[in-house]
Amino acid sequence: MSEIGGYFELELAKKQEYHSDALRINTARNALEYILLQRKYSRVHIPSYSCVALLAPFRRTKTEFCFYQINRHFEAESLSRLEKNEAMLYINYFGICDTIVKELAANVKNLIIDNSQSFYSLPHPGIDTFYSARKFFGVPDGAYLYTTIRPENLLEEDRSWERFKHLLLRIDRNTEAGFDAFQENERLIDTLPLKAMSPVTRRLLSSIDYESIQTAREKNFRFLHEAIGKKNDLPIDIDNISAPLVYPFLVKKGRMLRQLLLNHKIYCATYWPNLNDRLPAECFEMRLVRDMVALPVDQRYDIENMNALATIINNITA
């Protein structure tokens, strides 16, 4: 019999997870590590425009990797021919690359899709695909993995109860008060071994209204695109988005715009600042690092917020 009585836990709705049929892993990079351990590829081709943390699973599993570049449409630009036991990893950037993913799924045999930035994009049958939860929702960790290779033995469950400080501080105080704790949690994520998703993270992810969040993200994204899209140097197909992570806004002097927005307490992430050692300064990816402003479009905000954001941007870039 389960426990009866005692003190109350957090009051969370009991719904269904969005990726309820996937394997539940504690982090997205550990989901990638699981793929590498199971597939034993001789080499994996990965995009140069990617987080340095993506390399950790390759080093832990001693899997060889090499880089390819992308063009302004986020298509693979310099991908060499895949040998028999090689694979290609593609990132669904910002949740706006579903069309490219579909084409790759039809044409690349050994394909890994990183949907860490596209939680709502559905997997393609037979394609190893992984997702990150904390990039889209207020959870400390958690990932989902679709793969045809299931573990022979159940993975040990992770424990997350000590990783909530930044989430609680943001509610109780503000973003700045919790930022150091957020960075500490990000550093801790780097060290976590491969385990199953923790019970508390799974419970949180079972309490979310996924439909309303998807609607809010897409509505906010479309509004911003209508308001400032003509100034965006990125070609965005507005009819092929999946509840995007952010609105990627590429403009000249984007770094300056990012700082001006920060002065208005508008926080925009930078993807990814530590790529100087692998890419030439004049390439498209380095322009993204310098000048792409990742504008928030998530479920915390509504059209009124987006209108205020667009007004500030239009005034700055006039």
Give the number of other Cβ atoms within 10 Å of residue 6's Cβ.
6
Question: pLDDT tier at 138 (50, 70, 90 boundaries)?
Answer: very high
Domain that holds residue 252: 210-316
Greatest CA separation found in the chain?
Answer: 66
229 found inside a domain: yes
Quick one: tokens of 67? 């880089």
C-alpha to C-alpha distance for 40 and 1, rounded to whole angstroms: 42
Same domain as 153, residue 192: yes
Same domain as 104, residue 43: yes
Confidence (pTM): 0.95
Same domain as 262, residue 166: no
Residue entry with tokens 């690359």: 97
Question: 9-42: per-residue pLDDT in tens?
Answer: 888 888 999 999 999 999 999 999 999 999 999 9
Question: 80-96: per-residue pLDDT in tens?
Answer: 789 999 999 999 999 99
Same domain as 273, residue 201: no
Same domain as 238, residue 197: no
Sheet containing 64-68: give its strands across.
Answer: 23-25, 143-146, 128-132, 111-114, 86-91, 43-47, 64-68
C-alpha to C-alpha distance for 140 and 163, rounded to whole angstroms: 6
Q: How many CA atoms lie within 13 A of 74 on its CB side?
A: 22
175 found inside a domain: yes
C-alpha to C-alpha distance for 314 and 318, rounded to whole angstroms: 6
Give residue 1's pLDDT: 64
Give the rounded distance of the alpha carbon of 77 from its chain centre.
Answer: 22
C-alpha to C-alpha distance for 130 and 115, rounded to whole angstroms: 6
Give the number of other Cβ atoms within 10 Å of residue 167's Cβ.
18
Q: What is the average pLDDT value for the chain, to the nearest integer? A: 94
Domain end marker among 180, 205, 230? 205
CATH number at residue 140: 3.40.640.10
Quick one: tokens of 139? 């959870």
249 found inside a domain: yes
Quick one: tokens of 288? 């993204």
- What's the domain count of the chain? 2
Same domain as 160, residue 261: no
Give residue 206's pLDDT: 97
SS3 84: coil
4 found inside a domain: no
